[in-house]
Chains A and B, each alone.
Chain A
């Protein structure tokens, strides 16, 4: 049992194929305009405003419309109007499948009901802290910021599965990048990522597409991503009076196809699942 998106749920049940999933996601993307596109279409903002808002949003923990109001680019009424437009025009993944003729309305209704049942315990933004963890609020902030940075920097929507504690080394992946956080609290922060997710993150960091063969460049981009995430974590924690520092990011070493990250210590694992079903993990080692 894991966090899934509806498409992934249907894929696992062989109701749709991977091609159906990707095609429908593209179709859905072409139909669903984001807030900025809607505001542009309504004539409330210019291209320059949009660029400014995107930059400003990366700096603060606020929604696009809230930032636009704060910067006096849009009025609250205009934001409301755009939100209504977005809501009225929005097409859900299931609806897109029906519109493309991949499934029928009857199948959508029954599968959606089963999906909701399956996912009832996962609520976006509801981060579960395993029992017995010290400083649960700090852990929650770390996971929350990681999730938000995936969205803000890499434009990757990830869902966070339940955290669990283990002393097993992570499974081998394309990249296991880690950063040591130390000070009032001490953690080793690590992200385990596939090549595809790593390439997406690195491309987002640099603002241009990175060639798939440029392995070192991709790894450098992911390490910088971890650095930015952890920098933002210690910034947020410092507001609560928790002073921490961080070390430069590193790629975890392995021997005989086994990582040497935990070295017998216990870690909290948070599986992360991307919109397309790629999986990754946030690993937090205390002490």
Chain B
């Protein structure tokens, strides 16, 4: 089975490295790019065409909510999952879902939950 291609959008290099490790260790996913803000995330989405986007919400330049809205306007079938420390705030998650995010994962991560959610997209 082909590995699902994942784009990470998170301003923390350290956190992206952790998420990359969790996903790649599962043998189910391949990280094809890492953007550090929403603008870069949109650019990489259009050039790399990932199967899944893991999107942080709190980022400089352009936040995750705006990036989700733009990516969905370009590709209504985009599979975006919010991975954010603010994912415990109901209103934030509701907004992200409204813009087209498929699910939300809180930081700190539960690795098994991450794999399960991404695998079920």
Binding site for B on A (CB under 8 A): 52, 55-56, 58-59, 152-153, 202, 205-207, 217, 220-221, 223-224, 227-232, 234-236, 238, 243, 245-248
Per-position binary interface string of chain B over residues 88-121, scored 1 when its CB falls under 8 Å from any chain A CB and 0 otherwise: 1111000000000000001111111100000000
| B118 → chain A closest CB, angstroms | 15
| B39 → chain A closest CB, angstroms | 14
- How many angstroms between the C-alpha atoms of A85 and B90 in the bound complex? 40
| A201 → chain B closest CB, angstroms | 10
Q: Is there an interface contact between B85 and A227, defined as CB atoms closer than 8 Å?
A: yes
Q: Is there an interface contact between A220 and B13, defined as CB atoms closer than 8 Å?
A: yes
Q: Is there an interface contact between A248 and B11, defined as CB atoms closer than 8 Å?
A: yes
Residues of B within 8 A of A220 (CB): 12-14
Q: Is there an interface contact between B60 and A228, defined as CB atoms closer than 8 Å?
A: no
Q: How large is the interface on B (under 10, 10 to 19, 20 to 34, 35 or more residues)?
A: 20 to 34
Binding site for A on B (CB under 8 A): 11-15, 17-18, 21, 58-60, 84-91, 106-113
- How many angstroms between the C-alpha atoms of A65 and B31 in the bound complex? 36
Q: What are 10 of the A-B contact pairs (CB < 8 Å)?
A: A59-B110, A153-B108, A206-B17, A217-B14, A224-B14, A228-B107, A232-B85, A234-B88, A235-B86, A248-B11
Nearest residue, chain B, Cβ from A217: B14
| A278 → chain B closest CB, angstroms | 20
Known: A153-B108, A206-B17, A238-B90. 8 other contacts (CB 8 A): A58-B109, A59-B106, A206-B15, A227-B12, A228-B108, A231-B58, A231-B107, A232-B85
| B55 → chain A closest CB, angstroms | 14
Residues of B within 8 A of A55 (CB): 109-113
Q: Is there an interface contact between B108 and A224, defined as CB atoms closer than 8 Å?
A: no
User: Closest 6 interchain pairs by CB?
Assistant: A231-B85, A235-B88, A224-B12, A55-B110, A221-B14, A58-B108
- How many angstroms between the C-alpha atoms of A58 and B112 in the bound complex? 13
Contact of A52 among B17, B18, B84, B112 (CB under 8 A): B112
Nearest residue, chain A, Cβ from B60: A248
- How many angstroms between the C-alpha atoms of A245 and B92 in the bound complex? 9
Known: A59-B106, A153-B108, A246-B58. A228 touches B13 (CB 8 A): no
- How many angstroms between the C-alpha atoms of A193 and B112 in the bound complex? 31
Q: Is there an interface contact between A238 and B91, defined as CB atoms closer than 8 Å?
A: yes
Q: Is there an interface contact between B86 and A248, defined as CB atoms closer than 8 Å?
A: no
Residues of A within 8 A of B112 (CB): 52, 55
Q: Is there an interface contact between A152 and B108, defined as CB atoms closer than 8 Å?
A: yes
Q: Is there an interface contact between A207 and B91, defined as CB atoms closer than 8 Å?
A: no
Residues of A within 8 A of B88 (CB): 231-232, 234-236, 238
Residues of B within 8 A of A58 (CB): 108-110
Nearest residue, chain B, Cβ from A202: B14
Contact of B58 among A205, A206, A248 (CB under 8 A): A248
Residues of A within 8 A of B113 (CB): 55
